[in-house]
Amino acid sequence: MLPPKLVLAFRGSAREYFRIWIVNLCLTLLTLGIFSAWAKVRKKRYFYSHTTLDGTPFQYLGQPVPILKGRVIAATAFLIYYASSHFFTFLMPYILATGAVLAPWVIVRSAAFNARYSAFRNMTFQFEGRYRDALGVLYVWGIVPVLVVGTMFSWWGQPVVAGVVFLAFGISFPWWIRRFKNFIIGHTIYGGKKGVFSATGGQFFMVYFISGLIIVAMMIITGILAATLVASIRKSQVLLSVLAVPMYAGYVLAYAYLQAHSSNLLWNNTQLGPLSFQSTLLGRGMAKLYLTNAIGIIASLGLLTPWAVMRTLKYRADNLRVLQEGELTEFFGSETSAVQAIGSEMGDFFDVDLSL
Amino acid sequence: MITLKGQYYSGRWPLGTPATMNVAKREVSLTAGRISGRYSIGSLKVSPRIGRADRFIALPNGGQFMCADHVILNSLPAESPSEGFVAWLEVRWGVALAGVAIIVCMVVAGYFYGLPAAAERIAARIPIETEQALGREALAWLDKQEWFGPTNLALNKQKKILRGFDRLRSDLPLKKYYHLEFRNSSFIGPNAFALPGVTIVITDDMVKLARSQEEVLTVLAHEIGHVELRHTLRSVLQNSAVAVLAATVTSDAASLSVAVAGLPAMAAQTKYSREFEAAADDYAFRLLKQKGYSPAAFATLMERLSKNHEKVERMFAYVSTHPVTAERIERARAAAQRDR
């Protein structure tokens, strides 16, 4: 017998979200981007507040100013990178190295911000990962450092070296993703309970592998189509646009499959105290959603974007079940996890949101 | 006095207790099961209004009261005060419609006037020296990758072209920086381009395709136009601004993997590059006439190029970077006519 369910529902409405979206976009443009911090808060608030579990909405507690600070820092870093890649190329290796050293810090900070400012029933989430752990996760097996160093000294001139490095990177990537997800879930805490993640790298590999097979299959179909049509269609532009159809379809299918099944893998192997999850997303369901979203958005010159966002979130929520295998009282709050406790930390300079 | 019905969350466990809150002028009183308390209005923090979602009132005892949205909540102390005005705007359809109109106006005005004007001003303030190192590096890279080999042109042919080039640049503001390079390339074909800074490269095939010195100079004059008008820097500035603008407007669509979200930016950037070509043409025609050459030579060369292009399709042909249109040829002829 299945354990009892806690009902998860998404109750956002496209009409309501349209107004929120357009007002925030307009103000962002009018303020040359400064308002984007408010826009982010308003959107996240809308998503959280209209997602209910057992009848209670989630709460997003982030405030615009720390997010604005984070965005100023991110924008400055990007400008430095951009200027050096275009005008001061001799600085590039140092900038990449600094970025590599800072990356784990950025990951830890944004995960901590996200957790700290998400709450359910007056209890905030927490994230306890440290810089050291993130460093280990990011640079394990030396694949990423090799890629970075290789880019710094442009090793890609030698095809053999480049080929071996990229092959090693491609094959180990699913295992790397698993470690990363494990790092995030395993250090996220709610009500004193740490998340437990049990998916294996092999399971991730299968998801990536099948999604790669979809691409290869579509390439073969495109190839056959090209061979049969090349004689009958003279104009190269017409031929290219005919061939773009199976290529695009292949890309959408592969991407939808990847999204659906890595999401399923993530939820189905996560345990949080007495709660476990069951995600039943389908690749073809996601593909249908992406395709209809794209058609709607293009046909409406972007005005149907909020509608597309809402139905995607609804589809995801409809396919996620929360199973309860014990009492909710297994979660216990503390002085610091209460929503009211947040205000005291606001003054901290590094309490910034660095996620985009 | 207003009575609100909802749930009370103690913060100890994720379980709610049915609760009632009475809001009076200076204080509220809460009853939730066995818990009851009175709190002054000033000690509360109310979550911002968003859509039709339930609101939360944080109490000084660490507990939280949740209830359906109610007008009275907007007059209590806010958890995030700066959002109040935004929330007020968000519930009005009139504001949303005005928002659509403002966005359309801003995007159109920014794209057609704002960005090009701003990029031109900024480029004028950045000295050309900053680009020079980049241009040298780019050429060294192209040489190293064997895109180019050394030129096969006879020395006196090169000297003749260089003399003509010197004549063209003799009165220009950036004259002392100019640098002309000859290169041979088997697969780029007839081509000429200005690298960042003031290095202009012309391929042997282009020199050979031209039937006269005047025709070679028309191509060089066009590239000089790109340099004098600072098109490299301006296109970097404009294209990155367009990319940022497009990313802002389409960010939500992009997060849904609508692969076409990048297309508007690409289309927008194509228009800019065509405008730069036209501006460089106009500059070249004026310069040529000033030096006693005819823009008609440019038209003849372009016609030959596009015929040549139909015969051999090359990946990086001059025609694809500098689209030859009947309009461009027409304009060259018209410019040649005017000086008679």
Catalytic residue among B131, B214, B223, B228: B223
Instruction: State yes or no: pLDDT of A330 exceeds 70.
Output: yes
Q: What is the pLDDT of residue B261?
A: 59
B267 touches chain A (CB under 8 A): no
B262 touches chain A (CB under 8 A): no
Instruction: State yes or no: pLDDT of A162 exceeds 80.
Output: no
Answer yes or no: do A121 and B14 touch at CB < 8 A. yes
C-alpha dihedral over A10, A14, A19, A22, to 10 degrees?
100
- Region of poorest pLDDT, from A300-304, A342-346, B74-78, B226-230: A342-346
Q: Which of B264, B168, B276 is nearest to B217 (CA)?
A: B168
Answer yes or no: do B249 and A30 touch at CB < 8 A. no
Tokens of A105: 């810090």
A17 contacts in chain B (CB < 8 Å):
51
Instruction: Provide DSSP, A163-231.
Output: HHHHHHHHHHHHHHHHHHHHHHHHTEEETTEEEEE---HHHHHHHHHHHHHHHHHHHHHHHHHHHHHTT
Q: Tokens 């003509």 belong to which residue?
A: B164
> How do the pLDDT tens digits run along chain B, 340 residues long?
899 999 999 999 999 999 999 999 899 999 998 889 999 999 999 999 999 999 999 999 889 999 999 999 999 999 888 898 999 999 999 999 999 999 999 988 988 899 899 999 988 888 888 788 778 888 888 888 777 888 888 999 999 999 999 998 888 888 888 888 899 887 777 888 888 878 888 989 889 888 888 898 999 999 999 988 998 889 888 888 888 888 887 777 766 655 565 677 777 778 888 889 889 999 999 999 888 888 888 888 888 888 776 655 444 455 555 665 778 888 888 888 875 5
Nearest-Cα distance to chain B for A164, in Å, is 21
Radius of gyration of chain A (CA): 23
pLDDT tens figures, A210-247:
999 999 999 999 888 888 887 776 666 777 778 888 88
Q: Determine how many CB atoms are found less than 10 A away from the CB of residue A290.
A: 21
Q: What is the pLDDT of residue B4?
A: 94
Instruction: State yes or no: pLDDT of A356 exceeds 70.
Output: no
CA distance A51 to A55: 9
Answer yes or no: do A259 and B95 touch at CB < 8 A. no
Q: What is the ipTM of this complex?
A: 0.85
Size of interface A-B (CB pairs under 8 A): 184
Give, for B56, the enclosing helix (H) or strand (E).
strand B55-58
Answer yes or no: do A22 and B63 touch at CB < 8 A. no
Answer yes or no: do A340 and B107 touch at CB < 8 A. no
- Widest CA span of chain B, in angstroms? 103
Output A119 or B338, whichever has higher pLDDT.
A119
User: Is-catalytic flag, B223?
Assistant: yes
CA distance B248 to A40: 12
Q: Which of B149, B148, B300 is nearest to B214 (CA)?
A: B300
Average confidence (pLDDT) over A333-351 = 62
Which of A48, A336, A339 is the best residue to mutate to test the B interface, defined by the most B CB atoms within 10 Å of its own CB? Answer: A339
Output A309 or A241, whichever has higher pLDDT.
A309
Q: What is the pLDDT of residue A344?
A: 45
pLDDT tens figures, A129-151:
999 988 888 877 656 656 666 66
Nearest-Cα distance to chain B for A141, in Å, is 30
Of A19, A26, A64, the CB nearest to B93: A19
- Region of poorest pLDDT, from A78-92, A195-209, A267-281, B197-211: A78-92
Q: What is the pLDDT of residue A347?
A: 43
Sheet of B149-150, strands arranged across? B149-150, B179-184, B199-203, B192-194
Tokens of A309: 């966002």
Average confidence (pLDDT) over A148-169 = 68
Query: Nearest residue on chain A to B69, judged by CA atoms?
Result: A49
Of B50, B59, B133, the CB nearest to A45: B50
Of B14, B96, B106, the CB nearest to A23: B96
Alpha carbons within 13 angstroms on the beta-carbon side of residue B142 total 21
Answer yes or no: do B248 and A309 touch at CB < 8 A. no
Q: pTM (2 decimals)?
A: 0.84
Answer yes or no: do A25 and B13 touch at CB < 8 A. no
Tokens of A239: 């031929």
Instruction: State yes or no: pLDDT of A96 exceeds 90.
Output: no
Average pLDDT, chain A: 85
pLDDT tens figures, B89-99:
999 999 999 99
- For residue B165, the SS3 value is helix
Q: What is the pLDDT of residue A346?
A: 44
